[in-house]
C-alpha cells in the first residue's frame, strides 16, 4: 500500500513539472511572437504611425488613378478647381475629389510586412494593383500601389513605387482611392444652389406657371399674381437643383435615343446667381431622360424628378385661408351671425372682456384657423359674409381678414386684399363654428 502511495506522489510531481514547463514555453512563444510583431508594427522612430504617404493636400496639382490600364486623370485649374482631363474632359465633383486627396495626403500603415520585398506579385502589387500617381507643385511625382486583401481581411497591401517596403493599410483606404470617372464626375444637371434661385418658370402640358421669390417665400406671377404654397415651390426648386445624372448602365448614345423617343413631362427654367439654366424632362414608361442647358449631353435621371416636375398651377396655389402659420396670434376677432368673440393673448394666457379664457379651448380655435384650407379656387360664388374672422399676428404687423359665405354643401371665402376666392366644404365651416362655440372661460 505504501508503495502505491509513493508511486502516486511521483506521478503527481511529474505532472506539476510538465505543467510548469508548458507554461514557460507558452510564455516564451508569446514573447517571441509579440516581439516579432512589434518589430514589424508600423511605428516610426519618433513613436508615431509610419506614413506611407505624407503630402500637403494643397500642393497636389495632378492625380491619375488607374487599375488594369483604365485611368482617370484629375488636374487643378488656375482657380484651384479640380477637373477631369481624361479619359474625357468633364467637370469634377469637388467634394468627391477632396475625399480622394484627403486619403492620399495622410495615408498611414497598419504594419510593415516586408522590409525588402522582391516578389511583389504575391501581394497583388503588380499589374493588378490600383495605382495613384500624384504630382505636386514642386514637380515631384509619387506613385502609390494598392494590392490584394490580406488573408485575415480588413487590410490590403500597399507600397510606394521605387521603395522596397510593403505595408498593410486599412481596406477603406483602397475604397476611398479606387475611383473611376463616373465616381468623380460632377453629376449635377444644374449648377445653381436652391437658395440662390430667384425665379422659376414651369412649362407643362401647354400651361406656363412662373414664380418669383419674395421676402417671405414665393409668389405666383404667371398666369396671374397668386399666393404660392411656399413648401410646394421650394420642393420643386430643390428637386431640380438636386437632380443628378444616373450614369449606371446607360451610355450617352442610349440616353440620347431614349430622350428622343420619350414623352415630354415638363420644361423647367431656374433664374439666379448663375444666370438662367433650363432642364427638359421627358419620360418613357418608368425611365426619365433629361437634357440640361448647364451641361452638355443627354442623361437618365431618377424617376422622382419626373414626379417632382409633373405638376400644374393648382399644385402650387396656397389654399390656406390664413398665413400666420406657426406663429401664435395676438388677437382673434370672430363674428358668426349675432355671436361675437374678441380674444386677446397676453403671454401664455388668453382674455376676453377682462375674463381669463380656457387656454386649451382657445388653442383649439387657433389650430382650426391655422389648418383651414380651400379645396379649390372658384371663379364665383361669394354672396354675403355670414362669418367674419380677423387674426392679428406678428405683434400687430400682420392683420388677416377672412369672410365666409355659407352656401349649401360648398362655402366660399375671400381674403381682404386678395382677388381670389376659396372654396370650402360645409363640413370645414361647421367644424370651425363648433370649435369657436367651445371656447370658454377658465375654470368652466
Give φ, ψ of 332 to 5 degrees.
-135, 125
Half-sphere exposure of 87 (CA within 13 A, CB side): 8
Per the CB < 8 A criterion, the answer to whether 393 and 356 are in contact is no
Tell me 436's DSSP state. Answer: H
Q: How many domains does the chain have?
A: 3
Residue 26 in any domain: the answer is no
Query: Cα separations (Å) of 237 from 142, 202, 230, 270, 387?
Result: 44, 10, 11, 8, 37
CATH of the domain at 174: 2.60.40
404 and 340, same domain (yes or no): yes
Q: Are residues 170 and 63 in the same domain?
A: yes
pLDDT value of residue 35:
37
- Residue 126 domain-assigned? yes
302 and 407 assigned to the same domain: no
Q: Which grid cell is 402?
A: 377672412
Torsion of CA 336, 340, 345, 346, to 10 degrees: 180
Q: What is the mean pLDDT of each run of 10 residues along the chain (444 residues)?
A: 50 54 46 40 59 90 87 94 95 96 93 93 94 94 96 95 94 95 95 96 97 94 95 98 89 90 97 97 95 95 97 96 94 96 96 96 97 94 96 96 93 95 96 97 88
Do 340 and 433 lie in a common domain? Answer: yes
Global pTM? 0.78
Cα–Cα distance list, 292 to 61, 281, 295, 432 (Å): 30, 9, 6, 48
Q: Which of 212, 409, 231, 388 is nearest to 319 (CA)?
A: 231
Q: Could you tell me the strand order of the sheet in which 166-170 lies?
A: 90-91, 82-86, 70-76, 60-67, 130-136, 141-149, 155-160, 166-170, 111-114
Instruction: Assess if residue 325 is contained within a domain.
Output: no
- Ramachandran angles phi, psi of 243, nearest 5°: -60, 140
Say if 38 falls within a structural domain: no
Q: Is 373 helix (H, G, I), strand (E, B) or coil?
A: strand
Q: Taking a C-beta distance cutoff of 8 angstroms, is the pair 83, 89 a contact?
A: yes
Q: Is residue 12 part of a domain?
A: no
Burial readout 326-351 (b: 16 or more C-beta within 10 A, e: otherwise): eeebbebbbbbeeeebebbbeeeebb
Whether 265 and 363 map to the same domain: the answer is no
User: Which string of DSSP letters, residue by residue, matches 93-146?
Assistant: -HHHHHHHHHHHHEEE-SEEEESS-S-GGGGT-STTSEEEEEEETTS-EEEEEE
End-to-end Cα separation, the chain, in angstroms: 102
C-alpha cell at 405: 359665405
Distance CA 316, CA 314 (A): 5
Of 286, 316, 346, which one is at a domain's C-terminal end?
A: 316
Range of the domain at 426: 331-437
For residue 314, what is its C-alpha cell? 393648382
**Which of 264, 292, 316 is the endpoint of a domain?**
316
User: How would you classify the pairing of strands 410-415 and 130-136?
Assistant: unpaired
Burial per residue of 103-127, b for 16 or more beta-carbon CB atoms within 10 angstroms, e otherwise: bbbebbbbbbbbeebeebeebbbee
In a domain, 293, yes or no: yes
Same domain, 267 and 350: no
Grid cell listed for 256: 440620347
Residue 43: which residues within 8 A CB-CB, separation 6 or more? 49, 50
Residue with the three cell numbers 405666383: 220
124 and 201, same domain (yes or no): no
Cα–Cα distance measured from residue 387 to residue 425, given in angstroms and rounded to the nearest whole number: 14
Looking at 130, 162, 184, which one is the last position of a domain? 184
From residue 275, how far is each of 193, 197, 217, 278 by CA, in Å? 12, 9, 20, 10
Q: How many other C-beta atoms are found inside a 10 Å radius of the C-beta of residue 360?
A: 11
Whether residues 88 and 140 share a domain: the answer is: yes
The single-letter DSSP state of residue 400 is: E
Q: Return phi, psi of residue 414, to 5°.
A: -140, 150
Structural domain contains residue 189: no
Instruction: For residue 16, give the C-alpha cell.
Output: 506539476
Q: Are residues 301 and 254 in the same domain?
A: yes
Residue 18, domain member (yes or no): no
Quote the CA–CA distance of 300 and 311 in Å, as a whole number.
20
Whether 55 and 179 share a structural domain? yes
Instruction: Report DSSP letters for 300-357, one per residue.
Output: EE-HHHHHHH---HHHHB--BS---TTSPPSEEEEEETTEEEEEEEETTEEEETTEEB
Place of cell 484629375: 74
- 284, 381: one domain: no
Question: Do 210 and 177 share a structural domain?
Answer: no
Amino acid at each position: 500500500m505504501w508503495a502505491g502511495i509513493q508511486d502516486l506522489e511521483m506521478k503527481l510531481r511529474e505532472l506539476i513539472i510538465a505543467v510548469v514547463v508548458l507554461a514557460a514555453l507558452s510564455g516564451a512563444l508569446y514573447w517571441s511572437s509579440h516581439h516579432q510583431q512589434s518589430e514589424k508594427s508600423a511605428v516610426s522612430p519618433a513613436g508615431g504611425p509610419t506614413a506611407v504617404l505624407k503630402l500637403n493636400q494643397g500642393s497636389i496639382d495632378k492625380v491619375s488613378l488607374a487599375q488594369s490600364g483604365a485611368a482617370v486623370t484629375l488636374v487643378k485649374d488656375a482657380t484651384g478647381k479640380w477637373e477631369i482631363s481624361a479619359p474625357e474632359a468633364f467637370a469634377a465633383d469637388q467634394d468627391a475629389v477632396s475625399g480622394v486627396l484627403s486619403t492620399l495626403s495622410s495615408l498611414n500603415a497598419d504594419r510593415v510586412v516586408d522590409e525588402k520585398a522582391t516578389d511583389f506579385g504575391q501581394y497583388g502589387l503588380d499589374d493588378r494593383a490600383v495605382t495613384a500617381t500624384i504630382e505636386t507643385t514642386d514637380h515631384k511625382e509619387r506613385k502609390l500601389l494598392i494590392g490584394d486583401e490580406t488573408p485575415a481581411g480588413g487590410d490590403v497591401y500597399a507600397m510606394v513605387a521605387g521603395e522596397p517596403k510593403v505595408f498593410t493599410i486599412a481596406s477603406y483606404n483602397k475604397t476611398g482611392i479606387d475611383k473611376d470617372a463616373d465616381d468623380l464626375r460632377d453629376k449635377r444637371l444644374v449648377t445653381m444652389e436652391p437658395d440662390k434661385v430667384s425665379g422659376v418658370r414651369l412649362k407643362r402640358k401647354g400651361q406656363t406657371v412662373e414664380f418669383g421669390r419674395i421676402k417671405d417665400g414665393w409668389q405666383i406671377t404667371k398666369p396671374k399674381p397668386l399666393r404660392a404654397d411656399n413648401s410646394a415651390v421650394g420642393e420643386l426648386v430643390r428637386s431640380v437643383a438636386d437632380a443628378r445624372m444616373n450614369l449606371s448602365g446607360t451610355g450617352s448614345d442610349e440616353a440620347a435615343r431614349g430622350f428622343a423617343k420619350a414623352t415630354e413631362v415638363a420644361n423647367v427654367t431656374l433664374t439666379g446667381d448663375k444666370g438662367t439654366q433650363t432642364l427638359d424632362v421627358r419620360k418613357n414608361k418608368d425611365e426619365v431622360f433629361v437634357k440640361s442647358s448647364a451641361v452638355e449631353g443627354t442623361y437618365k435621371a431618377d424617376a422622382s424628378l419626373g414626379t417632382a416636375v409633373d405638376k400644374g398651377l393648382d399644385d402650387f396655389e396656397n389654399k390656406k385661408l390664413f398665413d400666420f402659420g406657426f406663429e401664435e396670434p395676438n388677437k382673434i376677432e370672430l363674428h358668426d351671425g349675432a355671436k361675437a368673440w374678441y380674444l386677446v393673448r397676453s403671454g401664455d394666457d388668453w382674455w376676453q372682456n377682462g375674463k381669463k379664457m380656457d387656454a386649451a379651448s382657445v388653442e383649439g380655435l387657433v389650430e382650426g384657423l391655422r389648418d383651414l384650407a380651400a379645396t379649390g379656387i372658384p371663379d364665383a360664388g361669394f354672396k354675403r359674409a355670414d362669418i367674419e374672422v380677423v387674426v392679428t399676428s406678428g405683434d400687430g404687423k400682420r392683420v388677416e381678414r377672412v369672410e365666409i359665405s355659407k352656401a349649401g354643401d360648398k362655402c366660399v371665402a375671400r381674403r381682404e386684399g386678395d382677388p381670389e376666392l376659396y372654396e370650402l366644404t360645409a363640413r370645414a365651416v361647421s367644424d370651425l363654428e363648433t370649435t369657436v362655440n367651445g371656447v370658454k372661460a377658465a375654470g368652466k
